[in-house]
Every structure is written in structure tokens, then in C-alpha cells.
Amino acid sequence: MCRIRPEYTLILTKGEYTDIPSGYIVVKRQLYYRLLNLKGEQIDKTIPIQVFDPGGDRILTRPDGSKVTLPRICELNVDKVSISMSDQERVSVAHPIKLREMKNESDAVEIYSEVEGLALMNDRALFSLTSPCYDLEFTVINEVPELVKIIEENVYLSSGGIRLRQKTSNKWTCQGGLLPGTALSVSWRALPIRPKIPSL
């Protein structure tokens, strides 16, 4: 089983919440890839998703007054079909899937997931691969440039000898194969708050 051309997107944002604690931002992580069965027969597998916050659960409020507990798994789609999840699967899910025999890459199954949680303004995100993958693309979207700055030199892969190539100011790629256990790391830092100058 191999993930073909995964697209991993990290979004730093204020989110839709009205009561984010001081010193924190919301971090969304989106992952899209195509899952290819490399065996010559149907196999049973799971799609594992897990999100963890060392600070524990936080209850935040949307503008309509509804409450949301972070961190959480927001969405899982398999071949563009949304997968429903129970409250017990808020931070961890292993969705079972049957992968038919596949002749070529065009038979691969599309997988999309999104998770979100809180992070400090001086922090980093770490994404660990659980399956072999091929040709990774990584994008960082900073929706709060007035609050934090991405440390571009601290965007890297933990696998020795394999480097990310920076294509633009917010996009990196890695051509070739990556093994399970490889980790993608990105760091950011808080910007000094500029005092407001009163108008005369």
C-alpha cells in the first residue's frame, strides 16, 4: 500500500472562534492523497487519523454560540464520500477500507482528511507518515501574518538524505519515496505586537 503524491497543507489562522486564549492560534491540517494497493489481490486496511494536544482539550465558542472541543478531526472523505464519525472518534479514528486489486495508478482511492487544534504562537507542527508515500507536496498558509512568522529554514524532513525543495515562499516538494516514520516539521514564531499610535 502506498500513498501517491500526498498534498499536506498547514493553515495558521484565528479560525471561526470568538474566545481563542491569548497567545494561541488555531492550526488546521489538511491531507489529500491517493491510496494504491500494491498487492495483486483485495486487501483490508484502515485509514488512521490522530490529533493530539499536549495542553489537553479546550472548549471554544463559535459566533452562533455553539461549543466545539479542540483538538478534533473535522472531516474524512473516501473517494469524495464523507465518512461520519462518533463523538468517541473526535481525536482518533481507524476507518476500515477494502482496497480492490489495482492494475495501475488510475485505480487508486482518493483520501482527504482535515483536523484542527490550538497551538502557541511560538510552536511547531509535526506530521509523521504511517505509510510509504511517493512525491510529497507541502504548503503553509499563514492567515495571521500580523501575529506569527513561518521560520522557513525550519521546514524539513526527519529522514536522512532526503530534502524538501522550496518552490515558492510557502510551498515545498519532495520527489521520490518516503518510508513510514518519516516526520515533516515546520516551526513558527510570534511577532512583536506593535503599539497602536493614536490619531490626532
Tell me if the pTM is above 0.75.
yes
Domain ranges of the chain: 2-190
Query: 9 vs 33, 87, 170, 173, CA distance in Å?
Result: 12, 25, 10, 12
For residue 47, what is its C-alpha cell? Answer: 485509514
pLDDT, one tens digit per residue, over 170-181 is: 999 988 888 888
Is 15 in contact with 116 (CB distance < 8 Å)? yes
pLDDT, one tens digit per residue, over 16-73 is: 899 999 999 999 999 999 888 777 788 888 888 989 888 889 999 999 999 999 999 9
